[in-house]
Amino acid sequence: MKRPRPFTLLLLGCGALLGGLILLPLLALLLKSSPSGLLQLLGSAEVRLALWITLLSSLCALPLIFLLGLPAAYGLARCRGKLRRSLEIVLELPMVMPPVVAGLALLLAFGRRGLVGELLDNFGLRLPFTLSAVVLAILFVVTPYFVRRTTLLFDGIERKYEEAAMLLGASPWQSFWHVTLPLVRRGLFAEAIMALAQGIGLFGVVIIFAGNLPGRTQTLSLAIYSAFESDPQLAFGLGSLLLLISLLLLAAVRLLGPGEERA
Amino acid sequence: MSELSCRLRAPLAHFELDVKLSVPPGITVLLGPNGAGKSSLLRLLAGLHRPATGRISLGERTLYDAESGSDLPPEQRQIGMMFQQLALFPHLDVSANIGFGLKLRGMRRAERQQRIAGLLERFGIVHLAARSIARLSGGEQQKVALARTLATDPQLLLLDEPTAALDPSARGEIRLWLRTVLTELQIPSLLVTHDVEEVAYFRKMVAVMEQGQIVQHGSFHQLLRAPASEFIARFVGVNYIPGEVSHVEGKRLFRSKGGLSFLAPFEQVAPGPACLTVYPWDIALYRELPEGSPRNHLHGEILDVVLLGDRVRMTLAREDKLVAELSSRGYEALGEPQPGEFLWAVFKARESRIENFQE
């Protein structure tokens, strides 16, 4: 057998270290919990409520992310040059913003004394410290990532398909609906799950903008934070519950998302 | 009967496209070297690009008019276009591809199925109906693409290098099929190619495009008889010798750029820049210059010998370059000359043509 060269050994060594760094904490968390422990957790009404709020807020945010993000991503994929670069910078702003700062910014914009908060208040809408605030926080943080990745999906679809559709009599709307969208459907499905996974894990922005109100805005992440101060064991259990949900979502992406069959 | 007529200007990367062209019902071949602007012209006609100025009309309908500001979007132009890479929809099977345009028009399912079945039958691809696009051969894809286009009853058909992507073995068959199908159509068809063999094959009206302009438009026969530029002449395989006509002692004389003097039928030409054309098969070759020959001759070195079935094509060069074609029997009679040897090329004045040209 040929002796591996030093460079190959370096790559292998770094890879192994990184693998350990990723897998070791996961393993530690999972070892801390047991199936019976998880069932016991789910028996608590408070935990069930936090789980419900977590899933509900992410699921409510998803259609909104699609509604805003899909046209934006498609439009961006059809832009070229300076315009596209400037729009991409706008998208990157929320990505580089620390989550806590994002929460503060949202509060200043939509809070009771915020820029448009008073206006909303006149209509009887009070966002902060409600489930809507959790949804808005998810929308604010997750949509830019969704748009970025979905733009790449649309970039991968050659223009010729849409042109062919138009020459066969399709309006731009029809060619988008009947040709472009079906061509990216598997990729979009994966993006939807990624958006869910991302929304479920948000912490900083939610705790500032929506608050940590058990039964109203307390998601699993926030519940872990609260529990960690009083009952670390509970926090570990909740942590592995959240981890399991994320792993399930990841498995769904891998199983149902774009795979080898795409040419 | 609808006829396409257009007058267009549009800036391209390296030059301006400036085209005036009318296409009657039937096949017109648009010939030109790569990068001449042929595909760009098709895209302008289809409405995928917008010209800087001009007008496009198809029969009674105005598709684009810069003056009145009318500009129909591609989906309303009723133009069928076969892209070079076909662009069949990979997420639909063969039937659904063909029925795509019909479905958009809101045609009922039963009627649609009937139309699709008719087209599948007409093109001899019934067995492919439920097949996925990825599992079609190049030629089959070609047929599905044309069926998909014709399903929508276009008033003009644009074909962008329809056989270029095929491997040579399939090309001949698809060409034959394409010619049969296109000849039956009652609409103008514009077929783009950079392959002169394809032009010879269709033997229809030809428009030649160079650097964004139509430099010649006529029958294939006219193209052969009087190529309007050196490019066209070389394309169709006619010898093209640029030079100048001058008066010498009351007689007209053609002097080539290479410095040779030739006689030609001078009735129609004025002194000045001109070009002389002569068919390769009107040139005779000899080892020795025949006695007392009043004919045009050139003593040249053989650069190249190409065997084409029972014909032999030889390129001779000295001051000018000439391509001569003779039968393989004639070639044997000459003792099978090889590159590097010298031969006399001789042709009669009345077998050449001469025309003035503007530089």
pLDDT tens figures, A150-160: 999 999 999 99
Using an 8 Å CB-CB cutoff, list chain A residues near B149.
167-168
Indicate if the alpha-carbon torsion angle B56, B60, B62, B68 is positive or negative.
Answer: positive
CB contact under 8 A, A183 and B91: yes
Of the given ranges (A1-15, A32-46, B192-206), which has the lowest mean pLDDT? Answer: B192-206
Do A167 and B90 lie within an 8 Å CB cutoff?
A: no
Please tell me the pTM assigned to this model.
0.77
User: pLDDT grade, residue A261 (50/70/90)?
Assistant: very low
pLDDT in tens, B249-259: 777 888 888 88
CA dihedral B152, B157, B161, B164 (to 10 degrees): 40
- Whether B90 sits inside 8 A of A164 (CB atoms) is no
Question: From CA B30, how far away is CA B11, in angstroms rounded?
Answer: 19
Give CA–CA dist B205/B220, Å, rounded: 6
**Interior angle at CA A103, CA A97 and CA A109, nearest 5:** 100
Distance from CA of B136 to the nearest CA of A (A): 14
Per-residue pLDDT tens digits for B173-226: 888 888 888 888 889 999 998 877 777 777 678 898 988 999 889 887 777 777
Look up the CATH superfamily of A36-256. Answer: MetI-like (1.10.3720.10)
Residue B152 in contact with partner chain A when CB distance is under 8 A: yes
CB-based contact B104 A168, cutoff 8 Å: yes
C-beta of residue A145 within 8 angstroms of C-beta of residue A151? no
**ipTM of this predicted structure:** 0.76
Query: Is B177 at the interface with chain A, CB within 8 A?
Result: no
Indicate which of B89, B119, B144, B190 best probes the interface with A, i.e. most A CBs within 10 Å of its own CB. Answer: B89
Residue B340: left if φ>0, alpha if ψ -120 to 50, beta else—which one? left
Q: Is the CB of residue B73 less than 8 Å away from at least one CB of chain A?
A: yes
Q: What is the mean pLDDT of residues B304-311?
A: 81
Among A163, A168, A263, beta carbon nearest to B101: A168
Q: Work out the mean pLDDT of chain B and round it to a whole number.
A: 87
Q: Tell me if A160 and B85 make a contact (CB, 8 A cut-off).
A: yes
Query: What CA–CA distances, in Å, run from B247 to B253, B320, B356, B359?
Result: 6, 21, 14, 20
Rounded to whole angstroms, how far apart are CA atoms B41 and B228? 21
Kindly state whether B75 is in contact with chain A, defined as any CB-CB distance less than 8 angstroms: yes
Any A CB within 8 A of B112 CB: no
B182 to chain A, closest Cα gap in Å: 18
Instruction: Give the range among A123-132, A234-243, B9-18, B134-143 with minimum mean pLDDT.
Output: A123-132
**pLDDT for res B294:** 63
Residues 203-242 of B with CB under 8 A from A: none
| Longest CA–CA separation in chain B, Å | 82
User: Could you give the CA distance from residue B78 to residue B57 in angstroms, rounded to a whole number?
Assistant: 12
| pLDDT tens column, A60-90 | 999 999 999 999 999 999 888 899 999 999 9
pLDDT of res. B239: 84
Residue A114 confidence (pLDDT) above 50: yes
The CA distance from A169 to the nearest CA of chain B, in Å, is: 4
Give residue B272's pLDDT.
Answer: 85
| Residue B81 dihedral angles phi and psi, to the nearest 5° | -135, 130
User: Among partner residues A160, A168, A263, which is closest to B148 by beta-carbon distance?
Assistant: A168
A25: distance to nearest CA of chain B, Å? Answer: 42
